[in-house]
Amino acid sequence: MAEQRSQQDRETLLADVAELYYLKGKDQSEIADRVGVTRSMISRMLKDARENGIVEIRIHRSLKVDLDLETRLINRFGLKAASVISIGEHYDDSLLGSLGNAGACILKQYLEPGVILGLSWGTSISATVDALETRELVSIKIVQLVGALGARMSDYDGHDLVLRLSHKLGGESYFLNAPYFCQNSETAHSMMETPSIKETIDLGKQTQVALLGIGATSPKYSSFYLAGYVPIEEIDLIRGKGAVGDVCGIHFNVNGEFVYKEFNERLVAIQKDDLLIIPIRIAVAGGAGKVTPILGALRAGLVNVLVTDSIVAEKILKAHDG
């Protein structure tokens, strides 16, 4: 108990020191005099506060976009809108954050009171939720479009994303309290008829804006496989059907033709026909390995607002025209 209290006292002190330094503009010498320690100890405390998550530093960098690529994507694929981050010739670790910032900027344009917003899952969706900032709460309904992926993927699982976004916006949350992938179609159908799950599924059909990720089937880039959620045998079977990617578990080939319907029938998730009638379908995806999946998703008509990077955009246009 004494150990726990000592830890709490330490965290309180770190928070006090961080507040004096970051919010009140006091220099480290002033804080050291006030706290009664040396200046070097204050420096160490500030470092500890950052490492322990007491202080979070966010840099707001203006996004550089490629207007020409945006226009070409819109015209080629009949999109409602596009945001293409200009990143030069090579990828770096900042890509995911940039995609999230661009995704948040696009999403904010559609957040109006009364809107029903549907979320899928994935790292780019998580980055978008993290980047979203609003000065006012927005009275909307936020719906989980795919079932739970399990504890190993909790940071970008649909349930967690809906919860985090509802906390930011003050919206009303609707969860799919069921596994995403079932052993057989009978189990999936039975779960989708459960009253609490059916309520969310039915509300998902009324979604007006969907925030979607685009998955890859290549083992090197497949989140399903890398997280251990789907075995390599299943990935090989999916690829054997010609699938290059998926949106909400709906698989398609590079020509935009829907394939492997049997996989989709084992999911607790929004169905293809219901997804396709959602008016605004925003996909946030980019990086190596996503060119063919994004191209297939665009040709399938699953996406009508795209957020991506300039390398992918160039390759998509070249592949499509070729």
Which pLDDT belongs to residue 59? 59
User: Which amino acid is residue 220, in one-letter code?
Assistant: K
Asked whether residue 186 is domain-assigned, the answer is yes
Alpha-carbon gap, residue 266 to 94, rounded angstroms: 36
What is the CATH number for 155? 3.40.50.1360
Sign of the dihedral through C-alpha 167, 304, 178, 126: negative
The answer on 218 and 108 residing in a single domain is yes
Domain total for the chain?
Answer: 2
Assigned domain for 60 exists? no
pLDDT score recorded for residue 5 = 55
| CA distance linking residue 95 with residue 91, whole number of Å | 7
Decide if 212 contacts 279 (C-beta within 8 A): no
Could you give the angle at the alpha carbon of 318 between the alpha carbons of 313 and 322, nearest 5°? 150
Give 246's strand partners: 215, 251
Residue 250 host element (H or E): strand 250-252
Check residue 143 and give its pLDDT.
97
Contacts 24+ apart (CB under 8 A), 75-80: 76/317, 76/320, 76/321, 77/298, 77/299, 77/306, 77/320, 78/304, 79/298, 79/303, 79/304, 79/305, 79/306, 80/280, 80/304, 80/305
- Cβ-contact 81, 74 below 8 angstroms: yes
Q: What is the pLDDT of residue 153?
A: 62
Residues 46 and 88 in one domain: no
CB atoms within 10 A of CB 105: 16
Amino acid at 28: Q
Q: Are 44 and 182 members of one domain?
A: no
User: Is residue 62, in this structure, part of any structural domain at all?
Assistant: no
Return d(Cα 206, Cα 186) in angstroms, integer. Answer: 25
**Using H for helix, E for strand and C for coil, what is the string for 86-106?**
CCCCCCCCCHHHHHHHHHHHH
34 and 84 housed in the same domain: no
* Residue position matching structure tokens 């830890």: 7
Q: Report CA 32 to chain centroid distance, whole Å.
A: 42
- Is the residue at 59 inside a domain? no
- Would 122 be classed as within a structural domain? yes
The pLDDT, as a whole number, for residue 27 is 87
Q: Which residues contact 272 (CB under 8 A, 6 or more apart)?
A: 250, 258, 264
Are 172 and 245 in the same domain?
Answer: yes
CB atoms within 10 A of CB 228: 10
Residue 313: Cβ within 10 Å count = 25
74 & 41 share domain: no
Domain that holds residue 168: 67-321
Q: CATH number, domain at 7?
A: 1.10.10.10
Co-location of 131 and 193 in the same domain: yes
Write out the H or E segment, with its range, that includes residue 172: strand 172-174
How far apart CA 75 and CA 77 sit, in angstroms, is 6
pTM of the model: 0.81
Is residue 218 included in any domain, yes or no? yes
Q: Can you tell me whether residue 83 is helix, strand or coil?
A: strand
The reply to whether 26 and 154 lie within a common domain is no
> What whole-number distance in Å separates Cα of residue 244 and Cα of residue 123?
18
Same-domain check for residues 247 and 314: yes
Determine, yes or no, domain membership for 56: no
User: Does any domain span residue 58?
Assistant: no
d(C-alpha 268, C-alpha 157), whole Å:
14
pLDDT averaged per 10 residues in sequence order, the chain, 322 residues? 65 90 87 90 89 76 86 97 91 91 96 95 94 85 90 74 92 92 91 94 97 94 78 91 95 96 91 97 96 98 98 96 83
Residues 167 and 252 in one domain: yes
> Which pLDDT belongs to residue 56?
78
| 241 and 100 within one domain | yes
Pair 38, 121 in one domain: no
Q: Are 119 and 145 in contact (CB under 8 A)?
A: yes
